[in-house]
Structure 1
Amino acid sequence: MQNDAPVLNISAYKFVGLPDCALLRDALHARALALGLKGTVLLAEEGINLFLAGTAEGVRAWVAALQEDARFADLAPKESWSDTVPFKKLLVKVKPEIIRMNHPAIRPDQQARAPALPATTLARWLDQGHDDEGRPLVMLDTRNAFEVDYGAFDGAIDWRIHKFSEFPEAVQQHRAELMGKTVVSYCTGGIRCEKAAIYLQQQGLDGPVYQLEGGILKYFEETNSEGKGAPHYHGGCFVFDQREALDAGLHPALEIARPPSEAHRARDGG
């Protein structure tokens, strides 16, 4: 729903085979440029990952054109609003991965994803302290350490990784603390926890593994009823643009202090 701010910000990703990603890059760049959009679109053979901002008409026209390609017909971007465009320029790039894990065996476009846990179900499980089978619940933060410092789920596991490619090694080092529990991996918008959950499923944990559907931003959207904040979450959510962090209402969280580790940020979003 639109508010009084004039700039529409969207984020979305999809793991889908894109053997033509180099050709697709030129078309998406030209269309975004013509519509006056700024932000970043990453393309790889495994899919698309995008963060764009501009007028509502321009952003939605770009998305509508993208959805004409059957591979993106079900793309459902997350929306938020701001007074200014939080990007300096437009970048549309072809990369080896849309989110770098350096683990070629993990290809969500070719593998079944882990079960996605809706935000409302997670909130209920956190209220009751266990899943519906009575298993203890573990929230596993897959983000970089400096992002976690802006805000996280209460009691979440944070392995202090500095880039997502360190995640598989961290799992190997800490595998025992996940055994026998229901593990919910989460990240900003879902892309990292989708790869993370597949990797976790392959580790033989004797409990179910979920990914939080839509990540923290979707959790904010669906659980921040009446503006009271997102239950079981403290702080804001770091975002990879000039807004820096969003509060549970998906507004720039200007009151959230920049954490000491901010200088170590890396472009590893999602």
Structure 2
Amino acid sequence: MKEILNIAAYKFVQIDDAADLREQLRALTHSLALKGTILLAPEGINLFVAGTAEAVRSFLRALRDDARFADLEAKESWSEAQPFRRMLVKIKREIIRMDHPAIQPAAGRAPGVDARTLKRWLDQGHDDAGKPVALLDTRNAFEVDHGSFEGAIDWRIAKFTEFPKALAAHADALAGKTVVSFCTGGIRCEKAAILMREAGVADVLQLEGGILKYFEEVGGAHYRGECFVFDGRESLAPDLSARANRASARAPEDPDLSIKR
């Protein structure tokens, strides 16, 4: 029986009190016996937390009491055992490292497309304006090797900081297409979409909620393989189940690894 609720969430929002917020979240997660990773930076929050359903939902309610996170959306999946070994709350320069000043929280989010609309576009072979759709996988190559959308563009980057250079080398191939960037949970593809728009790529959208939200809403249509996740489960099938009970596997200790979605 799957009794552990796993949530993944992020939000780009200005955070000026990261040190105080870190201590509040440390105390809150400890009191609820949660495990996982929470990253805080001036640009926002990025988290992956697991525990009993009651504890996780209590955590979300408390977090959303802060006006900055009132509309925080969380993607859910279940596991038989706790996929993390401990709880980490860290302050970073960026909640997902790109080494490029692409994100300005006050400027708003990158335009997006929801899972059901993307599936419809892929079913019909074009977007609603009749333009071809180019799916751009913004994840690292080893993640892509676990599974990706059919025909997705894969620049074989080893880490997300390589994305700006890859874009400079391949941007011309995106011309004339509606580009949909995607990643595991939404954070990398949102940064990538903003960067591409800054670079002059005309029609760029992010997949809202990433692959995990797509799985949750429409299943595995047009997707082949599984989705790598940075915890003890290793990867999830389109029904959001782990291929096997991997709770005993060693989850990444580096918070920049354990939450790169």
**In which range does the TM-score fall when normalised by the shorter chain?**
over 0.9
**Kept after mapping to 2: 8 A contact 1:11/1:50:** yes
Q: C-alpha separation between the residues in 1 aligned to 2:163 and 2:54?
A: 38
Q: Is 1:269 aligned to 2:260, yes or no?
A: yes
1:179 shift after superposition? 0.8
In structure 2, runs of 5+ residues without a counterpart are 246-255
Alignment of 1:39-58 (within 5 A): 39-58=36-55
Q: Which moved more, 1:31-40 or 1:246-255?
A: 246-255
Give the 3-state SS of the residue equivalent to 2:46 in structure 1.
strand
Q: C-alpha separation between the residues in 1 aligned to 2:244 and 2:28?
A: 32
1:114 shift after superposition? 2.4
Deviations 1:235-258 (A, max 9, x none): 010001000000011110239xxx
Q: What's the TM-score once normalised by structure 2's chain length?
A: 0.93
Alignment of 1:201-212 (within 5 A): 201-205=197-201, 207-212=202-207
1:76 shift after superposition? 1.7
Alignment of 1:50-199 (within 5 A): 50-104=47-101, 106-199=102-195
Deviations 1:87-130 (A, max 9, x none): 011100000000000002x1241323221101000001001111
Deviations 1:187-243 (A, max 9, x none): 0000001100000111222x411000000000000102xxxxx11000010001000
Q: C-alpha separation between the residues in 1 aligned to 2:95 and 2:109?
A: 16
Identity between Structure 1 and Structure 2 (%): 60
Q: Is 1:253 aligned to 2:243, yes or no?
A: yes
Q: Is 1:242 aligned to 2:238, yes or no?
A: no
Give the 3-state SS of the residue equivalent to 1:216 in structure 2.
helix
Give the 3-state SS of the residue equivalent to 2:77 in structure 1.
strand
Aligned alpha-carbon RMSD (Å) = 1.2
Q: C-alpha separation between the residues in 2 aligned to 1:110 and 1:163?
A: 27
Deviations 1:123-159 (A, max 9, x none): 0100111111111110000000000000000000000
Q: What's the TM-score once normalised by structure 1's chain length?
A: 0.90
Q: How many residues align?
A: 250
In structure 1, runs of 5+ residues without a counterpart are 225-229, 256-265
Q: C-alpha separation between the residues in 1 aligned to 2:194 and 2:108?
A: 8
